[in-house]
Amino acid sequence: MSGRSVSSDLVTQNQPRKVKKFYHKANKNKNRQISKREIFNEQPVLVDNEKGKEGENKEEIKARKAKVPKEKDTFPQYIPETEIDKLLRNENSNETQYIEGQLRVNPWNREYAYLSFSDDQCDLLIIGLRDRNRAFDGDFVVARINQPEKWKMHQGYNQKTGVVVYIREKIHPRRTIGYFKENGKLFYPRDRRVPLVKISKKSLQQFGVCQNYKDILYLVVITDWRKPKFAVGKIEKIIGSIGDIKAESNAILLEYDLDVTPYSLDVTKELPSSDYSLTENDIKDREDWKDECIFTIDPDTAVDLDDSVSCKPLENGNYEIGVHISDVTHYVEFLSPLDIQVSKRATTIYMADNVYHMLPKELCQVCSLSPGQDKLAFSVIWEMTQDARVVNYRFAKTVIRSCCQMSYQHVQKMIENPEYNWPDNSINIDGNYKLNDLSIKVNILHNLAIQMRKRRFQNGALLIDQPKLCVRVDRITGLPISYNIEEQQDSNRLIEEFMLLANMTVATHLYNVIPETALLRNHREPSKRILSMTQEMLQKFGIHLDIKSSRSLHASMKHCEEALETEDDERRIIMKYRMMVVNNLCSRAMTRATYICSSTVKAEEELRHYALNISVYTHFTSPIRRYSDCVVHRLLYSTLRNIDMPKEWTKSLCKSQNSGKL
């Protein structure tokens, strides 16, 4: 056996044995035959292109040679919070190196994110998940601007690029809806702004993903993000089958972290029941308007009726006009557990197949200004001339009784046929008023609204008419059965004008009386850069836009609309859709309106509302479905009763209300 030779091409110098990861020490004579005994007695050396050092054991060798992660596989370290404010001091200078703001991630490509500069220069571009540095869409971050050699060429000029170096506030809930592909190990979020997610083996087994994962929606919580390529997470819930209407609706609610759970009994036990009748304590110190002709105008599907109007001729030829808003805050105690929960929900959620109310359902019914029922209201009352100029105004807590719930269709018919003799039973009406009485008042309000609207646009207001798609669903199956584009008519515009006037009147009063704590609705100027690009593009098609101001932009868009006034049906249809495109392009340049506390700005000019072209504006008219309006109600009442509200309260609420409005 010992004399049996072994082929030299099996074991030769510098060649490893196939069975074990060893190679033999070099032999001086490469062609010398090696005996089997020699093979097994030869001192082995680990195959790793590097010999072990004398005295090292296996673990020490492994630790010494552990690979240093490549830069692309790691995230940059965050700058300590204590250093951030120092770095941001020069933000508005020409030597800006750091900026902060709310991160926007491209909805179609997670590799691109953006931060806006305080001036109108092109957004800071953040390329790649590594430079995003664990930040998600909506987070408030600080970013370092790269050196010019790293900037990216964009449409003929260099766009600044940067890296996130600190997350000041996490806004994104780190929850996402999605599905599994292929082997069921990698999770694909539906929201393309969210990174791909690796799910723990334990979580996969717990939810049976290994056996059945196709066409199923899951809710995943992202627990960590160690490497740029993938985040790490765990499954929280199985939502249901892809395409199922209930599962898809729940997916939207869960993805945006919207709380639609019923209010607990502990929170609602002190609330009045839905059939509640007003008490003496409720109506104490309120003006009695129960016998006045007050009515609501809403879509025919409306359930929450939070605004109503009244109109009464005065002896001097003027009119007393009232906007009466449901007094929700009478029933919701300031900073009570219910108040805190409502503030977090922020708004009523309207889905195609359901409505999730901001308030408890019973309270919605108590506050809704249903006809024939005594209700509490917060009223704005003007004396107005026949040419729609305000002589004076006042605010009052009132008790009202709406005499009629009218739809926009009812009111439109009254406007189009002012002489029509309405049969008494065609619309339900309460009290001593007849429908002809309401028709007269509707037409007075309509004539005033026309003049108010005309004057508003003459003063520089801008209207970008975005088409609104309405979907009808089957009440049993929840599936869509038809759709249409909602068209604004005179009846819609009537209510719009008086609600705008109420909001503007309240905003002016609050800013004059409590300039440090007023909650206002701010709409900043649009991006001049994007508007200029839109202007240049439309110019190629013979459409001229003057973008110097909101007034000039509205005037040029109005000029485009005049082309619709033609007897040629085919051309009118073409121009109608052409105008939709113009509106859509212009809307892209517009900034999103936000809530702002008046004390947080350096100059009054920063409070302006661009689209309305007015100095201050707020939301007062929808407290059943918007918590911001409840805040404004409390602030307004505090000015009437000389009550001091906490100075930081308004400021702290603005951020939550802005994130609550989707």
Question: At which of 479, 513, 547 does a domain end?
Answer: 513
pLDDT of residue 641: 94
Residue 210 resides in a domain: yes
Same domain, 454 and 319: yes
Residue 567 DSSP symbol: S
Work out the angle at residue 580's Cα, subtended by the Cα atoms of residues 574 and 582, and round it to the nearest 5 degrees: 105
Residue 209 resides in a domain: yes
Same domain, 158 and 120: yes
Q: What is the pLDDT of residues 540-598, one digit of tens each?
A: 988 899 999 999 999 999 888 887 677 778 888 888 888 889 999 999 889 899 999 99
Residue 597 resides in a domain: no
pLDDT of residue 126: 96
Q: Which two tokens stand for residue 242?
A: 């892809």
Same domain, 88 and 131: yes
Q: Residues near 436 by Cβ (< 8 Å), separated by ≥ 6? A: 421, 422
AA letter at 363:
L
Closest Cα to residue 640, out of 397, 284, 331? 397
Same domain, 366 and 503: yes
CA dist list (Å): 45 to 17, 29, 186:
11, 19, 39
Residue 488 resides in a domain: no
Q: Under the phi-then-psi rule, with left for phi > 0, alpha for psi from -120 to 50, and beta for the rest, what region is 32?
A: beta
Question: At which of 198, 232, 256 does a domain end?
Answer: 256
CA atoms within 13 A on the CB side of 534: 21
CATH assignment at residue 125:
2.40.50.690
Same domain, 243 and 302: no
Same domain, 226 and 323: no
Same domain, 252 and 273: no
Write out the E strands in 410-551.
468-473, 480-486, 519-522
Q: Residues near 317 by Cβ (< 8 Å), separated by ≥ 6? A: 385, 386
Same domain, 246 and 121: no
Q: Is 35 exposed, middle or buried (0-12, 13-18, 19+ CB in 10 A)?
A: middle
pLDDT of residue 94: 57
Q: Are 396 and 379 in contact (CB under 8 A)?
A: yes
Same domain, 460 and 443: yes
Q: Are 621 and 306 in contact (CB under 8 A)?
A: yes
The list of the chain residues with pLDDT below 50 reads: 1-51, 662
Residue 189 resides in a domain: yes
Number of separate domains in the chain: 3
Question: At which of 146, 169, 192 does a domain end?
Answer: 169
pLDDT of residue 142: 95
Residue 563 resides in a domain: no
Q: Is 14 exposed, middle or buried (0-12, 13-18, 19+ CB in 10 A)?
A: exposed
Same domain, 287 and 355: yes
Q: Are 219 and 237 in contact (CB under 8 A)?
A: yes
Residue 353 resides in a domain: yes
Q: Residues near 525 by Cβ (< 8 Å), separated by ≥ 6? A: 591, 610
pLDDT of residue 191: 95
Residue 529 resides in a domain: no
Closest Cα to residue 518, out of 662, 368, 619, 377? 619
Same domain, 165 and 198: no
DSSP three-state, residue 592: coil
Range of the domain at 99: 81-169
Same domain, 282 and 251: no
CATH assignment at residue 215:
2.40.50.700
